[in-house]
Chains A and B, each alone.
Chain A
Amino acid sequence: MPKVMKEVDAVIIGLGWTGGILAKELAEAGLKVVALERGAMRTPAADFSVPMIRDELRFTSRNEMGQNVARDTLTVRNNPSQEALPMRRLGSFIPGEGAGGAGLHWNGQTWRWTDMELRIRTMYEERYGKKYIPADMTIQDWGVTYDELEPYYERFEYTAGVSGKAGNLRGKIQPGGNPFEAPRQRDYPLPPLNQSLACEMFTDAAKNAGYHPFPRPTANASRTYTNPDGATLSACQYCGFCERFGCEANAKGSPLTTVIPIALRNPNVELRTHSWVTRINKAADGKRVTGVTYINTLNGEEIEQPAAIVVLCAFVLNNVHLMLTSAIGKPYDPVSQTGVVGKNYCYQTAAGATLFFEGRNFNPFMSTGGLNVTVDDFYTNWAFDRAQYGYVGGSHIFGGMFHGRPIAYRPMPADTPQWGSEWKAASAKWYNSAMSINASGSVMANRYNYLDLDPTYRNVFGQPLMRMTFDYKPNEHKVGQHAAQAINDLAKTMNPTLMNPATARTDPWSVVPYQSTHNTGGTVMGTNPSNSVVNKYGQSWDCHNLFVTGAGLFSHNSAYNPTGPVGALAYWTVDAIKKQYLKKQGPLVSA
Chain B
Amino acid sequence: MQNEEKKDEGFGRRDFLKSAVAGGAVAAAATAAVTVPQGAQAQPAGNGPAPGYAFLNLDEAAFVEALVDHMVPADQLSPKGTDMGLAIFIDRALAGGWGKGDRLYMQGPWKPGVPSQGYQLPLTPAELYRAGIAATNAHCMKTYSKSFDRLDATQRQEVLLGLSSAKITFADGLPVRVFWSTVYQTVIEGMFSDPIYGGNRDKAGWKMIGFPGVIANHAQNIIKYRDKKLPPNFVGIADMS
Q: Which residues of A contact B (CB under 8 A)?
A: 50-52, 54-57, 61-63, 68-70, 73, 76-78, 82-91, 194, 196-197, 235-241, 360-363, 365-367, 404-407, 410, 418-421, 424-425, 427-428, 431-432, 456-458, 507-512
Known: A86-B107, A196-B222, A361-B225. A61 touches B193 (CB 8 A): yes
- Selecting from B10-18, B47-55, B128-136, B209-217, the interface stretch reads B209-217
B-to-A contact residues, CB < 8 Å:
70-73, 75, 77-78, 98, 101-107, 109, 111, 113-120, 157, 160, 164, 184-185, 187-189, 192-194, 196-197, 205-206, 208-219, 221-223, 225-230, 235-237, 239-241
How many whole Å from B70's CB to the nearest CB in chain A?
Answer: 8
B241 contact set on A, CB distance < 8 A? 51
**With A70-B105, A82-B114, A361-B228 given, can you name 16 additional A-B contacts, CB distance below 8 Å?**
A51-B214, A62-B103, A88-B120, A194-B219, A235-B219, A238-B219, A239-B218, A362-B227, A366-B225, A406-B211, A407-B193, A420-B71, A428-B209, A508-B114, A509-B116, A511-B117
Report the Cα distance A419→B187, complex, angstroms: 10
Contacts A87-B105, A88-B118, A238-B219 known; A428 to B208 CB distance under 8 Å?
Answer: yes
Q: Which residues of A contact B205 (CB under 8 A)?
A: 406
| B103–A63 CB distance below 8 A | yes
Q: List 20 A-B contacts (CB under 8 A).
A: A50-B214, A50-B215, A55-B194, A55-B237, A56-B194, A88-B105, A88-B106, A238-B221, A238-B222, A362-B227, A365-B211, A365-B212, A366-B221, A366-B222, A366-B230, A419-B71, A428-B210, A431-B210, A457-B107, A511-B118
With A238-B218, A419-B72, A511-B117 known to touch, is A51 a contact of B209 (CB < 8 Å)?
A: no
What B residues does A507 contact at CB under 8 A? 116
CA–CA, A580 to B98, complex, Å? 50
> Which residues of the other chain, B, contact A509 by a CB distance below 8 angstroms?
116
Which of A62, A88, A363 sits near B119, CB closer than 8 Å?
A88
Cβ contact within 8 Å between B106 and A87: no
Give the complex CA separation of A458 and B105 in angstroms: 10
User: What distance in Å separates the Cβ of B207 from its nearest Cβ neighbour in chain A?
Assistant: 9
| Bound complex: CA A405 to CA B193 (Å) | 9
* Distance between B138 CB and nearest chain A CB, rounded to angstroms: 22
Identify B227's interface contact among A70, A88, A194, A360, CB under 8 A: A360
B105 pairs with A363, CB closer than 8 A: no
Please, which residues of chain B bring their CB within 8 A of the CB of A78?
A: 114, 116
B191 to chain A, nearest CB (A): 8
Question: Closest CB of chain B to A351's CB: distance in Å?
Answer: 18
Contact A89 B188 (CB under 8 A): no
CB distance from A90 to the nearest CB of B (A): 7
* B209 adjacent to A410 (CB under 8 Å): yes
Expressed in whole angstroms, the Cα–Cα distance for A240 and B20 within the complex equals 48
Q: Which residues of A contact B111 (CB under 8 A)?
A: 83, 85
Instruction: Please tell me if the beta carbons of A240 and B216 are within 8 angstroms of each other in the complex.
Output: yes
Q: Which residues on the B side are within 8 Å of A83 (C-beta)?
A: 111, 113
Residue among B75, B185, B227 making CB contact with A361, cutoff 8 Å: B227
- Please, which residues of chain B bring their CB within 8 A of the CB of A238? 216-219, 221-222
A460 → chain B closest CB, angstroms: 9
Given A50-B214, A62-B103, A87-B105, CB of A363 within 8 Å of CB of B219: no
A77, closest chain B residue (CB)? B117
| Complex-state Cα separation, A361 to B221, whole angstroms | 12
- C-alpha spacing A435/B102, complex, angstroms: 35
* Contact for B72 among A197, A424, A508, CB less than 8 A: A424
Contacts of A360 in B (CB 8 A): 227
Contact in complex: B71, A240 (CB < 8 Å): no
* Contact indicator B223/A194 (Cβ below 8 Å): yes
Query: Are A406 and B206 closer than 8 Å at their CB atoms?
Result: yes
Q: Is the CB of B227 within 8 A of A510?
A: no
Q: Who on chain A is nearest to B241 by CB? A: A51
Once the chains are docked, how many angstroms separate the CA of A360 from the CA of B226?
Answer: 10
Do A361 and B229 touch across chains, with their CB atoms under 8 A apart?
yes
CB <8 Å contact, A407 and B210: no
Which residues on the B side are within 8 Å of A56 (C-beta)? 192-194
How far is A91 from B212 in the complex, measured between Cα atoms in Å?
27
* CB nearest neighbor in B for A69: B105
Contact of A90 among B103, B115, B211, B213 (CB under 8 A): B103
B119→A57 contact, CB < 8 A: no
Chain A, residue nearest B208 (CB): A428
Q: How far is the CA of A68 from the CA of B103 in the complex (A)?
A: 5
Docked pose: A82 CA to B116 CA in angstroms? 11
**Across-interface contacts of B107 in A (CB, < 8 A):** 86, 457-458
A510 partner, pick from B116, B164, B192, B197, beta carbons under 8 A: B116
